Amino acid sequence: MVISSLLGLALWSAGANAPATVEVPAAPPAEAVRDEQRDFDFEIGSWMTEVRVLRNPLSGKPPVWAEYRGTSIVKALMDGRANMVELSVAGPAGKIEGVSLRLYDPARHMWSLNFASLRDGALTPPVHGGFGAYGRGTFYGKDRLGDRPIEVRFEITQVSADEARFEQAFSADDGVTWEVNWVAIDRRMKPVAALPADLAEAVAAHNRATVAKDIAALGALVTDDYLLVNSDATTQDKRSYLADFEKPDFRIEPFAIEQPVARVDGDTAMTGGVMTLRWTLNGRHESRRLRVAHMWVRQGGSWRIAYTQLTRVPV
């Protein structure tokens, strides 16, 4: 009765002959249905990877972290219904190389992440889950740490179109508390202007010869008046440069060029970027973050390095 009286008063106040109108809120737009099978499309491509690994997880002791740098190559498989990651990173503690196969189950709307280390070729137990609405994926599984059964949580966050973060945590109390033991940051490799085919092959050959200690190939790839300026401002000529590679215990580990740059102008060119150089000499393992620039000249139809500048990058 009260409601009827109030409604009648409202209509009378507006005018007895005025038609009554009721504002109906517009229906919110239907939320776009996300194709979960495309959840990893943002990651397809080549990435520079920085990894921190907790070497004593769930030990109750002060944390001991190891750092690694390298690359992650992500490839789509079977029209996007699966994808594979090739991980290769290295650091003072050694190397981590492996593959991760991600498979989508459309019946359960769920992904499984399956990792195998190239150290032993064994698959770890998978983690299962998916992505939420804000570009964050969470995956859970079970494993063992020594003789202890543990819970595993793996999280993937798309920070931007060119950066992604990965975090793994273990729990020994059924998920009540978690300890992070793996943090990886991927940054997309930026494309550079395409090099002439013969220069691209010369760059690749120089990188291969450096790691393989192929002195003959290195000698052919630098000019007779070659000059190397090291990151401590010391200089080496061709003879001194090649003499380093003749030392039995001198070895440079495989490396990747980050933030690559390249310029070509006729018969001269510049290539370079940022790298983490790791080497062994006199029984000591060394590591240094460097910006490298090679100046190339074309002589007799072949590209050779005339000058190299190494600049230390603060870390």
Could you tell me if 88 and 99 are in contact, meaning their C-beta atoms sit under 8 angstroms apart?
A: no
Averaged over 180-201, what is the pLDDT? 88
Name the maximum alpha-carbon separation found in the chain. 106
State the pLDDT confidence band at 32, using cuts at 50, 70 and 90. low
Identical fold for domains 36-188 and 197-312, yes or no, is no
pLDDT at residue 10, rounded to an integer: 32
| Percent of the chain residues past pLDDT 90, beyond the cut | 67
**CA–CA gap between residue 36 and residue 82 (Å, rounded):** 12
Domain ranges for the chain, please list them: 36-188, 197-312
- Which of 118, 120, 138 lies closest to 129 in space, CA to CA? 138
**CA–CA gap between residue 230 and residue 147 (Å, rounded):** 49
Averaged over 247-253, what is the pLDDT? 91
22-26, 52-56, 116-120, 256-260 — which is least confidently predicted? 22-26
What's the chain's average pLDDT? 87
**CA–CA gap between residue 206 and residue 223 (Å, rounded):** 13
CATH 3.10.450.50 is held by the domain 197-312? yes
| Separation of first and last alpha carbons in the chain | 77
| pLDDT of 295 strictly over 60 | yes
**CA–CA gap between residue 174 and residue 12 (Å, rounded):** 66
pLDDT digits (tens, 9 = 90+) for 85-112: 999 888 888 889 999 999 999 999 999 9
- Which of 117, 121, 122, 155 lies closest to 136 in space, CA to CA? 155
Averaged over 9-21, what is the pLDDT? 37
* Domain 36-188 -> CATH class: mainly beta
The alpha carbon torsion through 34, 39, 45, 46 (nearest 10 deg) reads 140
**Would you tell me how many other CB atoms lie within 10 Å of the CB of residue 147?**
5
